[in-house]
Chains A and B, each alone.
Chain A
Amino acid sequence: MSVLIFVDQTEGHIKKASYEVLTYGAQVAKQMGTSAEALVLGTVNDDLSALGKYGVTKVHQVANETLNHVDAQLYAKVIAEAVTTSGANVVVFSHNQTGKAVAARVAARLQAGIVSGACALPDTSNGFVVKKTVFSGKAFANVSISSPIKVISLNPNSYQTVAGEGTATVAPLTVAVDASKIKITAVNKVSGEVPLTEADIVVSGGRGLKGPENWGVLLDLAKELHAATACSRPVGDAHWRPHHEHVGQTGVQVAPNLYIALGISGAIQHLAGVNRSKVIVVINKDPEAPFFKAADYGIVGDLFEVVPKLTEEIRKMKASA
């Protein structure tokens, strides 16, 4: 019995979401009176023994270069084998892009029940019940898993990372890896920008900005805050901003610490993608805009006047800090 935590990496570096799941998984193990171990696939540059700081005692690594790219089919085989050899009965993933590709596939392979999009520690007082977001963040469901092996994929940004002391032993794991049936022909990363789903702060613009030529005020604010940028669906549809910035029910779902909405009305479908944000700031000239009902802070005013002032005040605050 143990908890196995899948550690997601890219280009040799461990992703931020992985530290959240490590902390979470270690807590699950503590709650169950067992140990937490990590699993890393592919070759990495980061120091794996340092993962001990998050509460794992052992890090299994399958350092096979084929695994440097996520192929769900290969990953599922390798992870399932690691679950079996390590004797884990709880497997934890981040519900990020890799988790969405792989976690359910591992669950099916192991005939394990899965709760995906989990947002709290399991309740083990009576069975094994995990809380997850449903209806695009508009509600939660408590879901009971009845299978012997349980898979959890944790919503990014829903569990606080805690680093303590400790080092983990790194144990190479040899697993036969098939040839991939998928050939990656291009990888296009948006360079120089903060990835939307990993960002602590997101600055988002709607139709209230009137046109793509006006995005400068938003970009200045985002730059000052080291924030990722996002937009409403009509803005994406009109190609004022790239598609991948579109947040909402039918776009990207984000849960940053701070979401700043500029000239967005706050339609229910938009809120569905942002309502897990910790703090929401709305700047809109219409006091009746529905977004104010979902906001923590707001300014009723013309964004073209307010936003440059906001950027300036933040700059001042940082300078005096």
Chain B
Amino acid sequence: MKILVCISKTPDTTSKIAFTNGNTKFDEAGVQWIINPYDEWYSLVRAIELKEKDASVTIHLITVGGADCDPVIRKALALGGDEAIRVNADSTDSYFIAAQIAEVAKKGNYAIIFTGKEAIDYNGSSIGGMVAELVDAPYISLATLFELNGSTATITREIEGGEEVAEVGLPVVVSCQKGVAEQRIPNMRGIMAARTKPLQVVEPAAINALTSVVSFELPPAKAGVKLVSPDNVAELVRLLHEEAKAI
């Protein structure tokens, strides 16, 4: 059984968010790049757990991006992917990225395609649904648990104000979040092995991007906190009621 795990490269969660080129480009100076936490902690680790239970599972990783993604893919291979495919194209358009992944997915006969809940940079929450549509498979979003029994997946997913348990046959596309698995740290053996695991670079299919970023903005700075004495809690209530109109 083959599993495809979608991996995106994102800035570390503590990165300073700033822009250059007249606010048209993310300022990469000093930024540490990581595997998008949802991809690393949840979808990839869950795929590895499935492989640990069933040796016939192979895990393919896919990323759409430039050569600057390679260190991040190597890390994902060190954690436990078997081989990786990088579609050599840089884009912020979800449709373009999803269509590239779908091209690869259609040829690969994957039983499960995992994505993260969202990429923490552009916050699209879009790729999973799009890939599912393009390969015409069911899509379970915001999964918090994923179990496999033969060719049926039992998946718990977040809905408004709770969760719901769904049973679905394979193939299926699933976006993962907290609950699906626990973070792991790559070990030395994994890191050594990753160096020789196949990382295939393919050129992108001819797909037109449908969106583009025109500019970025930073939110206006907060006016500064109004501190109230702990002995005068009534004043806080008054401010929240009369000034902020929040209660």
**Residues of A near any B CB (own CB < 8 A):** 10, 15, 69-73, 76, 95-98, 100-109, 111-117, 129, 131-147, 181-190, 193, 195-198, 201, 225, 236, 243-244, 246, 249-251, 257-258, 268-269, 272, 275, 278-279, 281-282, 292-302, 305-306, 309-310, 313-314, 316-317
Most buried by A among B140, B159, B209, B229: B159
Using Cβ atoms and an 8 Å threshold, which residues of chain B touch A146?
209-212
Given contacts A97-B142, A138-B17, are A305 and B216 in contact (CB under 8 A)? no
Jot down 21 A-B pairs with beta carbons below 8 A, ordered by A: A10-B160, A72-B138, A104-B130, A112-B210, A113-B211, A135-B121, A136-B123, A139-B19, A140-B216, A146-B212, A181-B168, A184-B164, A187-B164, A188-B163, A201-B247, A246-B178, A279-B246, A282-B225, A296-B223, A301-B230, A306-B233
- Binding-face segment, B52-60, B189-197, B235-243: B235-243
Using Cβ atoms and an 8 Å threshold, which residues of chain A touch B63?
none
Given contacts A139-B216, A189-B161, are A297 and B240 in contact (CB under 8 A)? yes
Q: Kindly identify which residue among A101, A133, A183 contacts B139, using a CB–CB cutoff of 8 Å.
A: A101
Q: Are A299 and B211 in contact (CB under 8 A)?
A: no
Contacts across chains A and B counted by CB atoms under 8 Å: 279
Given contacts A72-B139, A258-B246, A293-B222, are A107 and B125 in contact (CB under 8 A)? no
Q: Are A142 and B215 in contact (CB under 8 A)?
A: yes
Q: Kindly identify which residue among B178, B226, B229 contacts A296, using a CB–CB cutoff of 8 Å.
A: B226
Using Cβ atoms and an 8 Å threshold, which residues of chain A touch B210?
111-114, 145-147
Given contacts A72-B139, A136-B123, A139-B217, are A296 and B165 in contact (CB under 8 A)? no
Q: Which residue of B lies closest to A16 (CB)?
A: B160
Q: Kindly identify which residue among A102, A105, A186, A298 contacts B228, using a CB–CB cutoff of 8 Å.
A: A298
Using Cβ atoms and an 8 Å threshold, which residues of chain B touch A183?
166-168
Main secondary structure of the interface of A (DSSP, over half): mixed
Q: Kindly identify which residue among A101, A190, A236, A296 contacts B225, using a CB–CB cutoff of 8 Å.
A: A296
Using Cβ atoms and an 8 Å threshold, which residues of chain B touch A10?
159-160
Q: Are B212 and A143 in contact (CB under 8 A)?
A: yes
Q: Are A104 and B165 in contact (CB under 8 A)?
A: no
- Nearest CB in chain A: distance from B192 CB, A: 29
Using Cβ atoms and an 8 Å threshold, which residues of chain A touch B228?
297-299
- Nearest CB in chain A: distance from B173 CB, A: 9
Given contacts A15-B160, A96-B160, A115-B211, are A140 and B222 in contact (CB under 8 A)? no
CA distance A108 to B133 in the complex (A): 7
Q: Are A310 and B236 in contact (CB under 8 A)?
A: yes
CA distance A134 to B222 in the complex (A): 18
Total B residues in contact with A, Cβ cutoff 8 Å: 80
CA distance A298 to B154 in the complex (A): 45
CA distance A208 to B57 in the complex (A): 44
CA distance A137 to B167 in the complex (A): 34
CA distance A98 to B139 in the complex (A): 12
Q: Which residue of A lies closest to B161 (CB)?
A: A195
Q: Which of B109-143 contact A (CB under 8 A)?
A: 120-130, 132-134, 136-142
Given contacts A107-B130, A108-B130, A258-B246, are A302 and B222 in contact (CB under 8 A)? no
Q: Which residue of B lies closest to A156 (CB)?
A: B160
Is B38 positioned at the interface, with any CB of A under 8 Å from its CB? Answer: yes
Q: Are A107 and B212 in contact (CB under 8 A)?
A: no
Q: Are B240 and A281 in contact (CB under 8 A)?
A: yes
A-B pairs with the 10 shortest C-beta distances?
A: A301-B230, A195-B161, A113-B210, A104-B126, A189-B162, A105-B129, A104-B129, A108-B130, A258-B246, A108-B133
Q: Kindly identify which residue among B129, B217, B234 contacts A101, using a CB–CB cutoff of 8 Å.
A: B129
